[in-house]
Amino acid sequence: MILSAKTRKAILSVPFAREVANLVVNISNKRFYKKLNAEKHFDEKIKSLKNSKVGQRCFIVGSGPSLTVGQLEAIKNEDCFGANRIYKLFEKTAWRPKYYVIQDKYDSTKGVYEKLDVEYLFISDFYWKEHGMNNPHAICYHIDRTLKQTSDLPFSEECSKFIQAASTVTFTMIQLACYMRYKEIYLIGMDHTYANVTNDKGVIIQKNKVKSHAFEDEKPNEVVANISYMEDAYRTARKYCEAHGIGIYNVTLGGALEIFERKDFWSIF
């Protein structure tokens, strides 16, 4: 069921509503994925990627307003992850992500994703259950949510079984990159600035002069970021990478994400 930002806010204001909602979603998605996977064997496709990129590097591309076509052109021959509506920049560049991830069920641009020609198209069961998917490249993955916001987040080491969700698709892409065992992960276009931010109580703060993406949003008021939860996820990712000898760096041109070590984008070439 697709709910408006206003309705979501009202629901989250009710005590324990988030916990109950996430429990229901987890149970429903688990049943859905089990049935779908029994037919399509997506878990085997994901499992084939485990440790497939040992010692290599990749780029995880966000869609923040600092992202430039010049950056995308510079990494068009690199292994890259992209997500959600990054396709809006395709007409401006030859760059295409090797791995494309769709997670947000509130993203209604189904027809575009059906036609995407990418090597790997990862679709969350959260999205697939709501919209379906006929793209032959599509691989459905199972996501799991914590019942309430917590700084002690799980980090999936078995993406063929589940991927931990945490208010940002970037966390999903980092888990996949680590699962494939990339040695170096570079984040670009991760400005970490949004026009609408919320906390776990559903309180929304509007920042009218802030642009959320490098492209125009059709419904900007529907883009609401839980900054604190995202940062919990990023700290969990940094901790995991540090413990497993994986370098993860923020090479965004500016922005507000200071959790990962910064490097100059152009210097890495």
Q: Which domains does the chain have, with CATH numbers?
A: 5-268 (3.90.1480)
pLDDT of amino acid 43 = 98
pLDDT digits (tens, 9 = 90+) for 6-17: 555 555 555 567
If pLDDT is split at 50, 70 and 90, which confidence band does 90 have? very high
Length of the chain: 269
Rounded distance, CA 196 to CA 250, Å?
A: 23
Specify the pTM.
Answer: 0.87
Residue 53 has pLDDT above 90, yes or no: yes
- Per-residue b/e over 173-194, b at no fewer than 16 CB within 10 Å? bbbbbbbbbbebbbbbbbbbbb
Rounded distance, CA 75 to CA 79, Å?
A: 8
Kindly state the average pLDDT of the residues 42-62: 98
pLDDT above 70: percentage of residues in the chain? 82
Residue 111 has pLDDT above 90, yes or no: no
Kindly state the average pLDDT of the residues 129-149: 91
The sign of the dihedral angle between the CA atoms of 120, 239, 185, 256 is: positive
